[in-house]
Structure 1
Amino acid sequence: MDVRMDTAHLQTEHGPRTQLNRRYMVLGATMGLLASTVLIVTVVFVTEGAHNDLPKVDPQSREFRGVWVATVENIDWPSNMSLSTEQQKSELVAILDRMVELNLNALVFQIRPTGDAFYDSQLEPWSYYLTGRQGAPPSPYYDPLQFAATECHKRGIQLHAWLNPYRARHKSANYTLPATNMARRFPQYAYVYDGYIWMDPGAADVQNHTYAVIIDVVRRYDVDAIHFDDYFYPYPAGGVDFPDNATFRAYQSTGGTMSKSDWRRDNVNKLIKRLYEGIHAEKPHVKFGISPFGIWKPGHPEGIEGFSQYDSLYADPKFWLEQGLVDYLAPQLYWMIDPPQQSYPALLDWWLDQNPLRRHVYTGNYLSRIFTSGWPVSELVNQVKISRERAGQMSLGNIMFSMKPFRDNISGVVDIFQSDVYGRPAIPPVMTWLDTQAPDPPTGVKAGTKEITWNRDQSGVVRAWAVYRQDQENTWGLVQVFGYNTTSVSVEAGTYMLRAVDRMGNESTDVIVKVS
């Protein structure tokens, strides 16, 4: 994510289910158990209306905790374009392991920064930021997106594939575009603007190509979501208007009567609507999220000053929320809590009020300000707390830009977040409008010496396993989340609850294990 900012305008690159109402208990010992260890397995099946005896779970066990990993300009990964395949893999694994250490649960991974691909595509060239030459595959060959998806899911982390829809080349790079770059495919709609090459969002060829690229990713890769950030029409530069007069005149020649601004917004809205419907038609479980600039228009709410994305980027995320064209919105609230002109809580409250369909809101936070602007880490800690206070209004998590401070533990941010923010793991919240059907509970659950084991999932439904520990009478805290291929956990003496989690975040009924 590139960075531009002033006090009012900041932009960044960023199977069948069992339905029974019964409970049973099995007591016994497994081979190798200590004489003092007792296995108690209680499987709880619940039907509608039978919820009074469900275990009480810590509410913070449900929270979206994401981080942007920007590939443009090698901001977060890979650290430079000359790394070998093994070095690239090693860096990405280190990022994921740090995410596990921090109890983060969603990687927002930039796979198409400039009309290019961090994956094996027949539609677009390999990224310049991956190999130093756009169109050149990694050598030895591997597929970074496939590798990232596999490694994320091993760890119970969601992978949100982040694509930029219209940018064909970044201003900081000067390389020859291969024939498969969209600016070469559709040169009549490729404009040099502020040093970038930008595609015309009003051109049907550009819209169709962007749609095809994204649906291709959804179809071929095991991603959990498709993600856009704040780039639609480009940020205005030097008082020069975006040069799309020919496309607009073509629209008018067909009888179109919208103003140019409304026409531009309509171009973006059409793509958003088409993608929302197309993604879910291809794979209903793949979510669609957008992280827009944090201000819709100045004066919304009252007293807010700054840049208007509605009038200058021709993005209308208020409309997308109202129409249900996103599964989550992550407004980039990249300002401090106190300044009234761009107040973090005031803006968050305004966005939450624009959400009649109760889509999820995951605030975008500018973590990197701790080294670019000298913010104290406590500012970010307090911002997360403010977001949590509004959970009842669908403020259900945060996404940090970017991974670099976590990766390098700048200003001790890792230690502080571990102790004050994300001390325990969490599972992303369920999107009830997409799916609420729970997976079957774990099977073959056994207790061993300081260990719980269970059978591997054979259905393909389970994405992760959640292990809770009883903190006090009928109160449970989430202590571990494992990827789908894990079948054991080391534990201390205590009472534990094991649940299966599907790719939508739905949890099974409980298997309770007591080891003493």
Structure 2
Amino acid sequence: MTTTMRSLLFVCSYLILCLQCGIWGLKPIGADWPTREFRAAWVATVADIDWPISSRHTSNQQQNEMIVLLDKLQDLNFNAVVFQVRCAGDAMYHSQIEPWSRYLTGVQGKAPSPYYDPLDFVVNEAHKRNMEVHAWFNPYRANTSPSRSGLAKNHMAIEYPQYAYTYGSDIYMDPGAKPVQDRAHDVIMDVVKRYNVDGVHMDDYFYPYPVSGVSFPDSHTYNAYRSAGGRLSHDNWRRENVNNLIQRLYSSIKTLKNDVKFGLSPFGIWKSGYPSGIVGFSSYDSQYADSRKWFMEGWVDYMNPQLYWRIDPPKQSYTHLMDWWLQQNTKHRHFYAGCYAGRVVNGGWPVSEIRRQVEESRDRNNQLSLGNVFFSAKYFRDNSKGLADMFKSDLYTVPALAPEMSWLNSTVPPPPSNVQASGNTVSWSPDSSGAVRSWAVYLQQADNWNLVKVLNKDTTGYTGLRGQYAITAVNRLSTESDAVIINVNSDQPVIG
């Protein structure tokens, strides 16, 4: 037998096998709506903004409140939450390093009773709903009060009082002090090691927002740096302190767990005047946050600047700023715009402004604008000004998988096995690889494969209308397996 004949026989055999098994190397995509989009809401725990509703509520009440919140976001086809676990040197989880948050129990250092671990609870419940959990940390804020009263013995301001400064109405740790840098790094890596989180996230609190007429009191730390031979100016030294923490965290996270994403949400204006025509607070000059550098160096997996302005005003424009940020993305990371959904309540915005912002983000999909994060979750839970209704009917009408991050080198999961149709139900075998986070169900409509359902890994069946379906396995980085194609020949109504 010639080499050509053997090759033809192999190809024919493979095609017959594919026809028998219904397995094809295709990635079904929808036409009208994004199949891939990051859809997240910040869940703020500081001052009980989003959750818990009250630190006086029982453990059972708090858990039920979280379930209500997650159920609502799932119903609206969100696929991620950014959950605040460290507000001010405290913990919304069991930690051997830092004390329990007073926003959970009313007393810093006091564990919930009956005991539960909020971060573990959120991770488990969110994953059941096919939602990522990004653990949100504040690296330097020590207290949302100028007083040290009520701080636990193992709080960082008590353990390192020489680096804890009352500044305005808060207490802040000194980002230039190595023990403070190490503390932030170690706290975050402890969570990455012990919890099944999908991402690590920090927002806009680096050096504190300036208090008028008052300098941040870190001169003794800077003078020690100069005495040791350092040559940077005070401002550049401050920026370098933050840069070092960001770069160190990215490296440490990828070394420990490459599939844990790292994202930052800085103030939306890097410098006043960038881009041309933008006027406003300069985070580079006042918070010493060189967020453009972090993006351009690829020290993040996603950049999520807080673009908390409307589209039309020229001095602070959502779209003008978004376009500038997208131009800085030299490493081709993901960009998710931060949107202030609460402005429909406290800023007089119409809900149509939020709709336009999502639409503008989608219009830049080919520039790696791949989603939005909204502040904050309670406005969707409460359907403020009809916000949730608008998302349900106009924006997030169908599910979406999170976008893939090609640079994280995800392994493709095995396709579903033993896929069968009986009546109007498709079923398949449970995952035996340990690699599957979810199952994606697509329906062929006209010439398109449209995503109709994302199911958690413990669900192994879907009931739907007559048609041709494609089932894929999805891992924690949203990498999909090849699709298994199967026909459903029943006209029974959808109940799955």
TM-score range, shorter chain: over 0.9
Secondary structure of the structure 2 residue equivalent to 1:60: coil
The one-letter amino acid of 1:434's match is L
Larger helix percent: 2
**Is 1:479 the counterpart of 2:452 in the alignment?**
yes
Structure-2 separation of matches of 1:301 and 1:120 = 43
**1:511 matched to which residue of 2?**
484
**1:37 matched to which residue of 2?**
none
Conserved? CA contact 2:442–2:451, under 8 Å: yes
**2:264 matched to which residue of 1?**
290
Structure 1's 161 and 497: CA in aligned 2 closer, same or farther, altered over 3 A? same
Structure-1 separation of matches of 2:148 and 2:425 = 56
**Is 1:413 the counterpart of 2:393 in the alignment?**
no
Render the CA deviation track for 1:71-123: whole Å, top value 9, x for unaligned: 00000000011111111110111111111110000110000011000000000
Structure-2 separation of matches of 1:426 and 1:21 = 32
Aligned match of 1:497 in 452, 465, 470? 470
**Is 1:132 the counterpart of 2:128 in the alignment?**
no
Conserved? CA contact 1:71–1:111, under 8 Å: yes
**Is 1:238 the counterpart of 2:218 in the alignment?**
no
Structure-1 separation of matches of 2:166 and 2:15 = 66
Aligned residues: 476
The one-letter amino acid of 1:394's match is L
Secondary structure of the structure 2 residue equivalent to 1:499: strand
Conserved? CA contact 1:23–1:42, under 8 Å: no
Aligned match of 2:189 in 194, 206, 215? 215
Render the CA deviation track for 1:403-439: whole Å, top value 9, x for unaligned: 1110101111111111111001000101111124311
**2:252 matched to which residue of 1?**
278
Conserved? CA contact 1:153–1:484, under 8 Å: no
**Is 1:42 the counterpart of 2:16 in the alignment?**
no
Conserved? CA contact 1:224–1:285, under 8 Å: yes
Residue 172 of structure 1 and its aligned partner are, at CA, apart by 8.6
Following superposition of structure 1 onto structure 2, how do residues 94-493 of structure 1 map, counting pairs within 5 Å? 94-171=68-145, 175-473=149-447, 475-493=448-466
Render the CA deviation track for 1:293-349: whole Å, top value 9, x for unaligned: 000001101000000000000001110011110000001000000000001110000
Structure 1's 23 and 425: CA in aligned 2 closer, same or farther, altered over 3 A? farther
Structure-2 separation of matches of 1:24 and 1:510 = 14
The one-letter amino acid of 1:312's match is S
**Is 1:61 the counterpart of 2:35 in the alignment?**
yes
Residue 174 of structure 1 and its aligned partner are, at CA, apart by 7.4
Structure-2 separation of matches of 1:264 and 1:23 = 64
Structure 1's 21 and 153: CA in aligned 2 closer, same or farther, altered over 3 A? farther
Render the CA deviation track for 1:351-410: whole Å, top value 9, x for unaligned: 000011110000000000000011110000000000000010010000000011101011
Moved more, 109-118 or 443-452: 443-452
Structure-1 separation of matches of 2:134 and 2:262 = 9
Structure-2 separation of matches of 1:427 and 1:55 = 12
Structure-1 separation of matches of 2:136 and 2:451 = 29
Structure-2 separation of matches of 1:24 and 1:423 = 37
The one-letter amino acid of 2:464's match is V
Structure 1's 211 and 23: CA in aligned 2 closer, same or farther, altered over 3 A? farther
Conserved? CA contact 2:198–2:476, under 8 Å: yes
**Is 1:71 the counterpart of 2:39 in the alignment?**
no
**2:492 matched to which residue of 1?**
none
The one-letter amino acid of 1:286's match is V
Residue 171 of structure 1 and its aligned partner are, at CA, apart by 2.9
Give the gaps of 5 or more residues in structure 2: 1-12, 490-496
Structure 1's 23 and 417: CA in aligned 2 closer, same or farther, altered over 3 A? farther
Structure 1's 21 and 232: CA in aligned 2 closer, same or farther, altered over 3 A? farther
Residue 43 of structure 1 and its aligned partner are, at CA, apart by 1.1
Residue 449 of structure 1 and its aligned partner are, at CA, apart by 3.0
Moved more, 329-338 or 164-173: 164-173
Render the CA deviation track for 1:152-198: whole Å, top value 9, x for unaligned: 11111000000000011113987510111111111100001112110
Quick one: higher RCO (CA 8 Å, sep 6+), 1 or 2? 1
Secondary structure of the structure 2 residue equivalent to 1:480: strand
Secondary structure of the structure 2 residue equivalent to 1:341: coil
Structure 1 runs (4+) deviating above 4 angstroms are 20-23, 172-175
Structure 1's 494 and 173: CA in aligned 2 closer, same or farther, altered over 3 A? farther
Secondary structure of the structure 1 residue equivalent to 2:437: strand
Conserved? CA contact 2:28–2:450, under 8 Å: no
- Residue identity (%): 51
Structure-2 separation of matches of 1:243 and 1:55 = 56
Structure-2 separation of matches of 1:25 and 1:345 = 46
Secondary structure of the structure 2 residue equivalent to 1:462: coil
**1:30 matched to which residue of 2?**
none
Residue 459 of structure 1 and its aligned partner are, at CA, apart by 1.5
Structure 1's 57 and 196: CA in aligned 2 closer, same or farther, altered over 3 A? same
Q: TM-score, normalised by structure 2?
A: 0.94
Structure-1 separation of matches of 2:415 and 2:15 = 13
Render the CA deviation track for 1:274-303: whole Å, top value 9, x for unaligned: 000000111010010000100000110100
The one-letter amino acid of 1:67's match is A
Residue 218 of structure 1 and its aligned partner are, at CA, apart by 0.2
Give the gaps of 5 or more residues in structure 1: 1-19, 28-40
Structure-1 separation of matches of 2:28 and 2:208 = 50
Structure 1's 300 and 268: CA in aligned 2 closer, same or farther, altered over 3 A? same
Secondary structure of the structure 2 residue equivalent to 1:387: helix
